[in-house]
Amino acid sequence: MELLNDMALFVEVAKARSFRGAAEIIGVPNSTLSRRVAHLEKTIGLRLLHRTTRRIELTEAGLIYFERCRRIVDEAKLAHEQLGEMLEQPTGLLRVSFPVEFATGYLLPIIAEFSERYPGITFDFELTERSVDPVAEPFDVVIQMGEPGTSHLIARPVARLKPFLYASPGYLALRGEPRHPDELGQHECLYWMKDNVWKLTDGKETVEAKVNGRFRLNSVALIRGLAALDKGIVILPDKVVADELKQGKLQRLLPNWSGAPMPFFAVTETRLLPAKTQRFIEFLKTKLKDDL
C-alpha cells in the first residue's frame, strides 16, 4: 500500500513537473512529496527525476515508470469510484441464514422493503433452527438468537425482543386467568422443548415459574397456533403474535410481567463486509432500533 501511495505521488509530481505545483494540487507538503519520491527512487534503485532550482525533468527510467504508474493509478482511482457506486446502489447475491419464526413472523415486511430499496441485490435465504457457522457455510451473514459461541466471529446486535404472556379467550373462559406468575404451574402452558422454567419480572419482583403442559415444541408457529386454538398459555414477543392480538385470538395476561429479553445478532466472519451485507445489517438495525 505504501508503494502504491508513493507511485500516486510520483505521478502527480511528474504531471506538474514541480514538487511545489503538485503539493498545491493534492494538498501534501512540498517536503513530504520530496521525501516520498526520494524513498521511491531508493526502493527502485534508479533516479526518476532530474531536479533543478526551477523545475524537474523525468529521466529515461522516469518516463517509462511514469507511463506505467499513471495507468496503475488511474485503474486504482476507477476501482474506488466503482466501489463508491456500489455503496450508493449495492448489487450482487446476498446469502443470509435466519431463524425460521424470526424471519416469517417478524422480518417478512422488512425484508420486502429492503428488496424494493435495493433492486440490484438478489437473495439466497435459508430458514433454519439449527446453529449455522458463517465460516464453514457460504453465508454473508447469519441472523441468530444469542451471541455466537466462538470468539472469532463478529456479532452485531439487531434486536432484543421482550416476551409477554398470552392466552386465548376460549382458554381463559375454561381455565381462568392467572393473577400471579406463581399460578402458571396450575395451567396448561405451551413451551419450547426443555424451556419449562419461565423467568418473569415486573421490575420489582422476579419469579422463576416452572410450567407444565401437554405440548413441548420447537416451532414458534405451532406454539402461537395452538395457543390461538385454546390449548394453553404462551410467552412470546408481542410482534410475533401481533396478528392474533389484532384478530382477538389471543390476549395479554399479567400485563406488568415480562420474560427475559431475547437478543438477536447479525453474525459475520469478519468486520470487512461488502456493501450489500453492510446495507442489509444497517437496514435491520434501523428498522428494529425500538427493539434494542
Domains in the chain, CATH or no CATH each: 2-82 (1.10.10.10), 92-161+263-291 (3.40.190.10), 163-260 (3.40.190.290)
**C-alpha cell of 124?**
439466497
Q: Is the pLDDT of residue 84 over 80?
A: no
Higher pLDDT, 207 or 84: 207
pLDDT for residue 81 = 67
How far apart are the C-alpha atoms of 226 and 35, rounded to whole Å? 75
How far apart are the C-alpha atoms of 203 and 208, rounded to whole Å? 14
Q: Give how far Cα 241 sits from Cα of 49, 79, 229, 255, Å.
A: 73, 47, 13, 15
C-beta separation of 22 from 15 below 8 A: yes
pLDDT for residue 49 = 92
Q: Given pLDDT bands bounded at 50, 70 and 90, which one contains residue 27?
A: confident
Q: What are phi and psi of 172, to 5 degrees?
A: -65, -35
pLDDT for residue 115 = 96
pLDDT for residue 145 = 83
Q: Whole-model pTM?
A: 0.62
How far apart are the C-alpha atoms of 142 and 151, rounded to whole Å? 15
Give SS3 for 257. Answer: coil
If we measure between CA atoms, which residue out of 186, 200, 193 comes closest to residue 223?
193
pLDDT for residue 73 = 86
pLDDT for residue 25 = 83
Q: Give how far Cα 106 sits from Cα of 79, 239, 250, Å.
A: 38, 7, 17
Q: What is the pLDDT of residues 221-246, one digit of tens each?
A: 889 999 999 999 999 988 888 889 99
A 10 A CB-CB count for 97 gives 24
How far apart are the C-alpha atoms of 238 and 158, rounded to whole Å? 17
Q: Is the pLDDT of residue 199 over 90?
A: yes
Most confident of 5-19, 74-88, 111-125: 111-125
Give SS3 for 262. Answer: strand
Across 10-14, 33-37, 135-139, least confident range: 135-139
- Give the contacts of 204 (CB within 8 A, at least 6 positions apart): none
Q: What is the pLDDT of residues 87-139, one digit of tens each?
A: 667 888 999 999 887 887 789 899 999 999 999 999 999 998 787 888 778 89
pLDDT for residue 221 = 82
**C-alpha cell of 277?**
451485507
Most confident of 76-85, 132-141, 250-259, 265-274: 250-259
Average pLDDT, the chain: 89
**C-alpha cell of 212?**
407444565
Q: Give how far Cα 275 sits from Cα of 15, 129, 270, Å.
A: 34, 27, 13
Q: Given pLDDT bands bounded at 50, 70 and 90, which one contains residue 192?
A: confident
